[in-house]
Amino acid sequence: MMGGAPLGGYQPASAPAPQERYPQLNRILHSEDTFGRSIVFANGLDTARVIFLFIAVIGFGYNLIAKLQSFGRSGRPWGYFFQKFFDMHDANGYIDAGLVISIYAFIIAIPICIILFIAKKLTVNSSITKLYDQFNHNGFVADLVPTGLIIPVGNTKGQVYVLGAPNVPPDWVQGAVQHMVAAVTTDPKSREAKAYFKALSKVAMAGGLAAGVAAEANKADPSIPPGIFVTSQVRNADARPRVAVPVGNDFTKLRLYPLKKNVPIA
């Protein structure tokens, strides 16, 4: 499965790798057709589409509120509301910069969202094929081990999880978890604990949450051996295995793909 040098530079562990512990899941993932239907796959087009959709919603909402307030004050018949919906003039007949921006944001963003949606549909099969080939070459099924540590993720919070490469013994992963927790909680107000937590949070958020990236823990703590990765997840209840594919050729980062809820973990 690894197709080359072991991740983390370790010899294969005696304990079975996660994909060996999930024979049914392993069979599903080794067919390109069922592989594509089993993972939650998102790429850059999805991210861009969400951004433009957000812009469209903000533009539509600003214009809608402005027009509702204008009609409420003017006493004009509401039958004219939709005729004036795209009017960029204020109550005094002058061009309103806010309305111009909001209306054009809505008008431009919606077609872009449609174009990105179509582009995703046209390219998703080739993207899945590429990811499937990467998974078969050096990817694996990763077990997420919760640490109980909570870090800020944008405006919300996420839990830190640890996972190991297939050739890393499970007890090494558990040892890394215990080490991280002890470093942060033994004396949480100390300067050392705060610095450790900050470094760990930075590595756990490597690539951003939306990218679903895990990075080697030794970037935050050199005492942790290579091949042990940390990541953060907002949905703490979803600790099911992930499909992990190395990013690049140095095996210091993994891109993680969740499994769909109907996929059996067995």
Residue 184 forms part of a structural domain: yes
Dihedral of CA atoms 222, 206, 123, 32 in degrees, nearest 10, equals 40
Residue 192 forms part of a structural domain: yes
Residue 16 forms part of a structural domain: no
**What type of residue sits at position 19?**
Q
Residue 222 forms part of a structural domain: yes
Find the domain containing 218 and state its range: 140-258
Residue 201 forms part of a structural domain: yes
| Other residues' Cβ atoms within 10 Å of the Cβ of residue 10 | 18
Residue 229 forms part of a structural domain: yes
Task: Using only the alpha carbons of the chain, give its radius of gyration.
Answer: 24
Residue 234 forms part of a structural domain: yes
Distance CA 200, CA 195 (A): 9
Contact present, 236 and 122 (Cβ < 8 Å): no
pTM: 0.70
* Paired strand residues for 152: 157
Digit-by-digit pLDDT tens for the chain (266 residues) are: 333 344 444 344 455 667 677 888 988 998 888 998 899 887 667 778 788 888 989 988 888 887 777 766 666 665 666 667 777 876 666 778 888 888 888 889 889 988 888 877 777 777 888 899 999 888 999 999 999 999 877 677 888 999 999 888 889 999 999 999 999 999 999 999 999 999 998 888 865 544 588 999 999 999 998 899 999 887 655 678 999 999 877 788 999 998 988 888 87
Distance CA 193, CA 177 (A): 15
Q: What is the model's pLDDT at position 74?
A: 60
Distance CA 44, CA 56 (A): 18
| DSSP calls for 185-253 | HSSTTSHHHHHHHHHHHHHHTTT-GGGTEEEEGGGT-TTSPTTEEEEEES-TT----EEEEESSSS-SE
Task: Give how many domains the chain has, as a whole number.
Answer: 1
Residue 27 forms part of a structural domain: no
